[in-house]
Amino acid sequence: MSEPRTGESGLPSGTAARTAKLVGLPLGYASRAVGGWGRRLTGQDAEEVNAALQAKAAEQLFDVLGTLKGGAMKFGQALSVFEAAIPDEYAAPYREALTKLQSGAPPMSVAQTHRVLAEQLGASWQRRFSEFSDLPAASASIGQVHRAVWHDGREVAVKVQYPGADEALRSDLRQLMRFSRLFQALAPGTEVKPLLAELSERMNEELDYRGEANYQRAFAAEFDGDSQFVVPKIVASSPKVVISEWVTGTPLAEIIAGGDQATRNEAGRLLIEFHYSSPERVRLLHSDPHPGNFMLTADGKLCVIDFGAVARLPGGIPRGLGEITRLALENQPAELMRVLREHRFIKTGTDVDAADVLAYLAPFTEPLAHQTFRFNRRWLQKQAARVSDIGGKDFKTGRLLNLPAEYLLIHRTTAGNTGILCQLEAEFGVRAIAQRWVPGFAGS
């Protein structure tokens, strides 16, 4: 079968082609699984066959998600932080392919980049810069970043949105909405349609870089001069271009690959301090957790970039989350069930055993049960296997629990940051940070 035609941007030239690529992911894996079953019948080693299937699946995943550049690319970046949950014998190909999605996507042509800049900043856009590098320094899910020097001498990062990224993203979201019945069958206790609607709304917001710039301005103002964090200041913005100050640092991906233990521990501590403190300090939550969005500067601060995905939390972290965590740790099933129902984590009419819910939640709260905790891939793999074992009690319990739409980005961000901590294998005191910043966790 020939590849779908692509436009100059590298995006498939029609919705049908995009849909075919998305649908092709599970179908491709299914066909490879059948082939692998056949090879096992001929006597080939099962582990070798499985490893080959995983490698092929990873290769296809990167190929498809890396060229779509829309909602599927966002999905791929979300997946990339969970590679720590994949069993070690299969992790290598996924680790390589998925982590590429954090910064690697085919770049636009120089002419196309200049065209977008002229449309967004005016025909004389080049006069705004004293220097501009046509070679992208990095790529994001719906845009790419160029290094430049602003006319006043400041080094800046210029993020330019891919032409057609808006329709690509909306097309992916429409496909997700069409699969709502399938998602409902997989998670019968979950309010799927409101969840997908919330996801769609938040992703649509990312298409207008002016909103992203406003979020970043809010974070930059709050953390200006902070002893622990750096948020680059916005220089200029338009719907499809955002310009911010350039900050140099060591990406978390490099620390994951070869950082010493002390650096890993400090990076993890800063990541969670930022995660828990931002809702209280800014009333916003940075909701795009992958290593490409965080760096350690030379003076030991955590630099945070890319504020396209942000959760608005006017009341800070919901008190119910802290109470649920505390009650699970304190082994109070009756009170835990009351709070879960009050906040719609258990829907009205759903019959689920309190002891089963407590058993389901307890391992997730383990990092908060100790003064210090060592995150690692084995722990995350164990949790992933536990809740995904179709024949196990935890899987059945999880299917009866609901994720209210207003908690979607909080849940996604917490899970994503946990994945990063396990990649870092960081050890530090999570409990003390939660006690300081999470309402309801330390009690009334």
Is the distance from CB of 400 to CB of 346 less than 8 angstroms? yes
Phi, psi of 277 (to 5 degrees): -85, -30
45-97 per-position pLDDT tens digit: 444 544 554 555 555 544 554 444 444 445 554 444 445 555 555 455 545 55
Please state the rounded mean pLDDT for residues 296-300: 97
Q: Is residue 414 part of a domain?
A: yes
Q: Which of 227-241, 263-277, 296-310, 401-415 has the lowest average pLDDT?
A: 401-415
Q: Domain containing 350: what range?
A: 226-231+248-444
Q: Which residue has the higher pLDDT, 321 or 143?
A: 321
Q: Give residue 294's identity as a one-letter amino acid code.
A: F
Q: Is residue 210 part of a domain?
A: no
175-205 per-position pLDDT tens digit: 656 655 555 544 555 555 665 666 667 667 7
Please state the rounded mean pLDDT for residues 401-416: 85
pLDDT at position 139: 76
Please state the rounded mean pLDDT for residues 275-293: 94
Residue 440 has pLDDT above 60, yes or no: yes
DSSP 157: E
Is the distance from CB of 414 to CB of 275 less than 8 angstroms? yes
pLDDT at position 9: 39
What is d(CA 134, CA 280) in angstroms, rounded to the nearest whole number? 39
Q: Is residue 433 part of a domain?
A: yes
Q: Is residue 74 part of a domain?
A: yes
**Total of domains in the chain:** 2
User: How far from chain centre, in Å, is Cα 199?
Assistant: 12
Is the distance from CB of 6 to CB of 12 less than 8 angstroms? yes
Give the three-class secondary structure for 385.
helix
pLDDT at position 352: 92
Residue finishing a domain among 84, 100, 116 = 100
Give the three-class secondary structure for 286.
strand
pTM: 0.76
What is d(CA 329, CA 104) in angstroms, rounded to the nearest whole number? 40
Residue finishing a domain among 64, 85, 100 = 100
pLDDT > 70: percent of the chain:
67
C-alpha closest to that of 324 among 311, 343, 351 = 343
pLDDT at position 22: 41
Please state the rounded mean pLDDT for residues 358-371: 91
Q: Which pair of structure tokens corresponds to residue 268?
A: 């993890």
Q: Is residue 356 part of a domain?
A: yes
Cα three-residue angle 184-190-196, rounded to 5 degrees: 70
Residue 161 has pLDDT above 80, yes or no: yes
pLDDT at position 38: 40
DSSP secondary structure string for all residues of 240-272: TEEEEE----EEHHHHHHH--HHHHHHHHHHHH
Please state the rounded mean pLDDT for residues 368-372: 95
Q: Is residue 242 part of a domain?
A: no
Residue 289: pLDDT band (50, 70, 90) is confident
Strands annotated E in 322-398: 373-374
Selection from 53-62, 271-280, 328-337 with the highest mean pLDDT: 271-280
Residue finishing a domain among 52, 81, 100 = 100
Q: Is residue 394 part of a domain?
A: yes
Helix axes 46-68, 15-41, angle to 10 degrees: 170
Q: Is residue 6 part of a domain?
A: no
